[in-house]
Structures are given as C-alpha cells and as structure tokens.
Structure 1
Amino acid sequence: MRDSRLRRPAVVPDIVSGTVELTTTPPLVQRPSGIGYAKEHPADRDRRGVLWLRVASNPDGARGRPEFGRVHPLRQRRVMRRHLCQICSRPASRTALGTLWLIEDHRGEGPDWPEGCATVHPPLCVACAEVSVRLCPHLRDGWAAVRAQDPQIQGVYGQRYTPGLLAPRAQGPGVVRYDTHQAAWVLAASQSITLYDCTLVDLP
C-alpha cells in the first residue's frame, strides 16, 4: 500500500521553496555600514541596498518537494512587487476597493485596524483565496479579507544583527523598515508590505 505522506499536495503556493532550492548563504562579514558577504554578487542586495539570503539557482526549473514552512525569497519579492497571487502567480484580485489580501484577524487591536498593518504575505486572486482559508496554517486561528488601495513596500522580514567584537551578532528575526538604521543590519528573507486605504470585505 502506498504511503499517503508521499503524495504531492494538491495546492502548492508558488512562493513555497522546494527541497532542491537550498539557501547557500556564506558567512557574514561586519562593516561600518552594516553586514555583508565577503564576495557579494549584484543580486545579493535589493534596490534599496538590503542584503538578502542566497538561494541555489536551478536552470532546469526543478524545485523538488515543497517545504511549506520555507518561503522562496526571490519569488516572494517578485509577487509582492508586482501584486501577483502568491499561489498561482497570476495577477491578484483588484477592484475599486483595492487589491485583495488575507491576513490574520487582529480586529481587537483597535478601531483603525487593519489600516497601516504590515504583512509578509503577498496578495491573492479570489479563487486562490477561497482555497487558502481552508488549507493555510497561518489562517487557522482566524482571518480577515482586506482590500487595500495603497499598499506600500516599506520593509523586510529577516534575521536582525548588531555589531559584535569580531563578527555581527544575531538578535533574532523580525520586520525591519527600510527607512531605519536597522535595515543595514538585517539579512532579509521576505519583503514586508504595509496596507493603506483598507476595507474589510467578504469573500464571494
């Protein structure tokens, strides 16, 4: 009898990394201006100068089996920047109210929520959103469908560092805004977007 654990999942988000898409991050070096790699490539930093995890490139497009707990940094940046669906990579749903996001439900944070909230989860099309609310682990404790007319990429999520005696010291992961000093001391893994002009909506 075939083990069901070996079956390929029915839905695999495009931003999920595969088993052959390994991170190959070299040791970090410490500079007066922040962290870096001893031998950096142009693709190691984004347009705003933040250092990113390196990911092995597979010219044949092979990804291996999906690892749902690991987001692919380059694909996450691409769909976030272009407002593509994080699952199918087609254009995310957009109406007069804005682009569609699914986020954890934090309505208890105040009457203005979700205005100005930040998320590392890219937008979705309606069809993939309907699948996500049934299958996505990070939505199991409650979710909200939000349309944002003015989403702005303002930071990254990654491992934060501070200057050490001989090498940078890790301070734990978190979201860092581009307009802060900490941006020079973070090793980014995902892009963070802030949602403005928000409307809570129902899924069809």
Structure 2
Amino acid sequence: MTTNQASVNILGGGAVVPYITAWSSEQALPSPVVHRNRGIAYADESPVDRDQDSVLWARMSASPGVGRPQFKRIHVLRQRRSMRKLLCQVCGEPKVVRPDGTLFLLSQDEYDFAPWPEPVLTSNPPVCPPCARLSVGVCPHLRRHFVVIRARAFALAGVRGNLHVPALPHPVPVRAYTAYYGDPALRWTKASQLLMRVTDYDVIDIDAAT
C-alpha cells in the first residue's frame, strides 16, 4: 500500500486505523538542515520536501500497514496531503466536502481553547460522516471527549514544527513552534503538521453528522 492509496485498516477486535496514523515501520528520517536563502533547507533537497508555500517539511519513511499502528503518532506526509486535498483523515477518500458543510472532529481540549463563535485552529484533517461516527464508536477517548463541527468557511493557516536558529556548522532546532503564513520565522521552521483555521461553523451532535 502506498501513500496514494486510500483505505481504512481494521485490526482484530475492531480497532480502526485512520489513514493519517503512523505505523511502527514509519520513522523520521535524519536530515540535517543547512542555511540557505535566509532560512533552512536540506543539502540534498527535492521538490517533495517543500509544499506550495515553500515550507520545508520533516522527512518520514512511508510504509502504511506494515508493523503496528501507533495511534499517538501522525504520518507527516499523509496529514499534509489530507489537509491540502481535503481527504478524510480516517478513510483517505475525497468525500468530505458537502453542500451543507465539511465535518471536523476535534478533541474537547482543542475546541475549549477557542470555543464557538471564535475561529478554531486544528491540525485534524476533515472527516466524512460515516468515518466520524465510526471513530467515535471505536475510540475510547473520543467516546466522551469530542466535538463535531460542520464548517462552511476554512483555510490553511500555517504549520507546527521545529524552529531553528543560525549556528555553525548548521542551523539548530530550539523549540516547537507554530508558524502562521506571513511569519518571517516560517523560513526557519521545519514543519511536521499543517494547520487549518475554521472561521464559520456550527457545533453539531454526532447523530446529525450525515
């Protein structure tokens, strides 16, 4: 299975493995950065290392379905792809945009940081209605601590990653950082998650997620 194949993996016991979940066979690839063009770059950089906004991305091997799913880890490329192409974070299919809005499934903590009607900033890609209900039904944490929103207006806002500073012989990472588009520090950030800002939405019951 490649990162271009969309699927839901269901393990013994009914555990669902979302499309964006990292597997034990998928690991961060050591890639030191260099100072170039007023920011950071890879010495052996290829087009896939940057997105449409010229943001440098962390490298990670891709072998979904191999090994064990690691539910607390997100695969860098699949999360980025799901956000940009509006793919369901669970099944990976492009069926999330509907006439009445697009569903996002948030943790309670993520929503409580800026509750309605404030804009919501999330690293969770959208989700299709069947997968939203499936996720809530099989994930112990989500059964009690989740918020479903139906969004009418949203846009990519920036990235989360590691901020670097100039040093010799190479720039060094100093801390986790949220870099919004337009932030000069974006050139010094190695991204690991793409962020979406949702500005117009309704909070709905999971049973209304159709």
Q: CA deviation at 1:97?
A: 3.8
Name the counterpart of 2:27.
22
| SS of equivalent to 1:102 | strand
Name the counterpart of 1:164.
167
Q: Does the CA contact (< 8 Å) of 2:22 and 2:71 recur in 1?
A: yes
Name the counterpart of 2:187.
184
| Counterparts of residues 128-167 of structure 1 (less than 5 Å) | 128-136=131-139, 139=142, 142-164=145-167, 166-167=169-170
| SS of equivalent to 1:49 | coil
Change (3 A) 1:17 1:199: same
Q: CA–CA distance in 1 between the matches of 2:161 and 2:137?
A: 27
- Superposed CA RMSD in Å reads 2.7
Q: Does the CA contact (< 8 Å) of 1:23 and 1:53 recur in 2?
A: yes
State the one-letter code of the partner of 1:82. K
Change (3 A) 1:143 1:159: same
| Counterparts of residues 1-204 of structure 1 (less than 5 Å) | 10-57=15-62, 63-105=66-108, 113=116, 115-136=118-139, 139=142, 142-164=145-167, 166-204=169-207
Q: CA deviation at 1:169?
A: 3.2
Q: Which runs of 5+ in 1 are unaligned?
A: 1-5
Q: Deviations over 1:140-191 (max 9, x none)?
A: 7732111111110121111122223543232322321121111101111111
Q: Does the CA contact (< 8 Å) of 2:87 and 2:126 recur in 1?
A: yes
Change (3 A) 1:163 1:113: farther
Change (3 A) 1:159 1:36: same
Q: Does the CA contact (< 8 Å) of 1:115 and 1:198 recur in 2?
A: no
Change (3 A) 1:27 1:108: closer
| SS of equivalent to 2:199 | coil
Q: How high is the TM-score relative to the length of structure 2?
A: 0.80
Q: CA deviation at 1:29?
A: 1.4
Q: CA–CA distance in 1 between the matches of 2:143 and 2:65?
A: 30
Q: How many residues align?
A: 196
Q: Does the CA contact (< 8 Å) of 1:92 and 1:123 recur in 2?
A: no
Q: How high is the TM-score relative to the length of structure 1?
A: 0.82
Q: CA deviation at 1:30?
A: 2.3
> What fraction of aligned residue pairs are identical, expressed as a percent?
38
Q: Does the CA contact (< 8 Å) of 2:106 and 2:146 recur in 1?
A: yes
Q: CA–CA distance in 1 between the matches of 2:116 and 2:135?
A: 22
| SS of equivalent to 1:149 | strand
Q: CA–CA distance in 2 between the matches of 1:33 and 1:161?
A: 12
State the one-letter code of the partner of 1:194. R
